[in-house]
């Protein structure tokens, strides 16, 4: 992580991270928020050397929950998660204007529609960069809905947690992979709940992981096993695992991916917001 500018952002000590997280407990479906902070608290405990910093503009974070969470997984992967409980975005936008970038600007990960003005202001710092933003529909499944989900595997299919050895397969097929993203997939498998579907030969044929923002993610079914209902099954299975942890079940689906959106809506998921991923290129 790059050096912070003097007299700029305040780093929140790791022993205060739970206090910050708990400020978000009343808004469990906001991205990024309670689930995101809780997941990264867990990651840091499991991997103390992991390069995570939570920054804020001043001590007012203790009241308004403003944070910038900077994650560096390797030289290619720099994620920035940010939010505020303050209705006024000026403080958050100012903080985003101070946070330094390393080599390239940060990849803004999974931020809700309310934060679009702050994200736009951040990228205005890079007038020579072309900004790419992926828009997703943010779906929510109530606890009552998830409790009604049944888990019935097709013949010849076994469901179980993924293994680190599955990471290359998942990363290779992931449409949003980038250089170094294998490290991201590795940690999702190691630290978050997940599910894989394996055929009788032990081959991984479908999967769903949990993103750092707490939602379902990286849902995929091999072409050879489509039209068997495995995507639907992955969603139902992992939804129940997440709900069993006491967390809300959420899912971002690319807005233009009509078949996937229809699947989630058929299951009973309700759209509650839009969530965005933004990055810039020369």
What are the tens digits of pLDDT across the range 95-124? 999 987 655 678 999 999 999 999 999 998
pLDDT at 6 > cutoff 50: no
Dihedral pair phi/psi, residue 209, rounded to 5°: -115, 170
Mean pLDDT of the chain: 94
For the stretch 226-249, pLDDT in tens is 989 999 999 999 999 999 999 999
Q: Which CATH number do you get for residue 115?
A: 3.40.630.30
Q: Could you tell me if 194 and 257 lie in one domain? A: yes
Count structural domains, the chain.
2
21, 99: one domain: yes
Q: Which domain holds residue 211?
A: 143-272
- The number of C-alpha atoms within 13 Å of 100 and in the hemisphere containing its C-beta is 13
The DSSP symbol for 26 reads: T
Nearest to 74 by CA among 174, 187, 162, 184: 184
* End-of-domain residue from the set 102, 127, 152: 127
Taking every pair of C-alpha atoms in the chain, what is the biggest distance, in angstroms? 62
User: Are 123 and 148 found together in one domain?
Assistant: no
**8 A C-beta contact, residue 272 and residue 137:** no
**Together in a domain, 200 and 176:** yes
In a domain, 135, yes or no: no
Q: Are 31 and 94 within one domain?
A: yes
Regarding pTM above 0.85, the answer is yes
**What's the CA angle centered on 96, arms 92 and 97, to 5 degrees?**
115
Verify that 49 and 170 share a domain, yes or no: no
Per-residue pLDDT at 70: 95
> Is residue 251 predicted with pLDDT exceeding 80?
yes
Q: 74-103: per-residue pLDDT in tens?
A: 888 899 999 999 999 999 999 999 987 655
Angle CA 244–260–214, to nearest 5: 35
pLDDT at residue 8 in the model: 79
What is the rounded distance in angstroms from the CA atom of residue 203 to the CA atom of residue 271?
34
| Percent above pLDDT 70 for the chain | 96
Is position 282 within any domain? no
Residues 56, 112, single domain; the answer is yes
């Amino acid at each position: 992580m790059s050096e912070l500018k003097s007299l700029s952002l305040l780093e929140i000590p790791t022993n205060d991270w739970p206090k910050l997280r708990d400020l978000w407990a009343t808004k469990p479906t906001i991205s990024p928020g309670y689930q995101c902070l809780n997941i990264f608290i867990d990651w840091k405990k499991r991997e103390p050397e992991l390069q995570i910093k939570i920054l804020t503009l001043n001590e007012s974070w203790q009241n308004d929950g403003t944070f910038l969470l900077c994650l560096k997984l390797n030289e290619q992967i720099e994620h920035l998660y940010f939010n505020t409980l303050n209705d006024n975005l000026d403080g958050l936008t100012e903080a985003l204007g101070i946070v330094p970038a390393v080599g390239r600007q940060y990849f803004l990960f999974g931020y809700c529609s309310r934060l679009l003005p702050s994200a736009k202001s951040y990228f205005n710092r890079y007038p020579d960069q072309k900004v790419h933003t992926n828009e997703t529909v943010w779906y929510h499944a109530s606890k009552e809905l998830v409790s009604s989900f049944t888990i019935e595997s097709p013949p010849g299919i076994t469901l179980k947690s993924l293994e680190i050895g599955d990471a290359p397969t998942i990363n290779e097929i992931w449409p949003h992979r980038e250089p170094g993203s294998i490290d991201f997939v590795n940690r999702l498998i190691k630290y978050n709940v997940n599910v894989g579907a394996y055929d009788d030969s032990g081959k991984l044929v479908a999967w769903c992981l949990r993103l750092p923002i707490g939602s379902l993610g990286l849902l995929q079914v091999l072409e050879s096993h489509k039209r068997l209902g495995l995507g639907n099954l992955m969603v139902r299975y992992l939804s129940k695992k997440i709900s069993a942890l006491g967390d809300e079940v959420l899912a971002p689906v690319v807005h233009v991916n009509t078949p996937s959106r229809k699947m989630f809506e058929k299951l009973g998921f309700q759209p509650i917001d839009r969530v965005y991923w933004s990055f810039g290129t020369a």
